[in-house]
């Protein structure tokens, strides 16, 4: 049985967290604007990331990988 596109046994390996808006493309954006984006802030909290800290491995984080599933966006 699938729930929200994820097999039930897959929930043992993947966490599911619905973002409430479109994630910000952070390329070329100021740190202040990134810090003010609620979707980026949510991802940061979930992973256990600290802003302005350099990470050389994923060991101190809550999860070693992140998968973002999104709907297709139609460009007009």
Write down the domain spans for the chain.
Answer: 2-47
Do residues 39 and 19 touch, judged by C-beta distance below 8 A? yes
SS3 2: strand
Element holding 45 (H helix, E strand)? helix 38-47
Token pair 């802003």: residue = 51
* pTM (two decimals): 0.65
Interatomic CA distance for residues 38 and 25, integer angstroms: 13
Q: Reply yes or no on whether the pLDDT at 3 is more than 60.
A: no
Three-state secondary structure call for residue 42: helix
Tell me: the pLDDT tens digits for 25-55? 889 999 899 888 988 888 899 889 998 899 9
């Amino acid at each position: 049985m699938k729930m929200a596109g994820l097999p039930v046994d897959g929930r043992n390996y993947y966490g599911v967290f619905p973002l409430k808006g479109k994630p910000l493309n952070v390329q070329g954006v100021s740190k202040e604007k990134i810090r003010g984006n609620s979707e980026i802030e949510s991802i940061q909290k979930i992973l256990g990331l600290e802003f302005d800290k350099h990470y050389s491995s994923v060991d101190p984080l809550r999860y070693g990988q992140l998968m973002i599933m999104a709907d297709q966006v139609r460009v007009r």
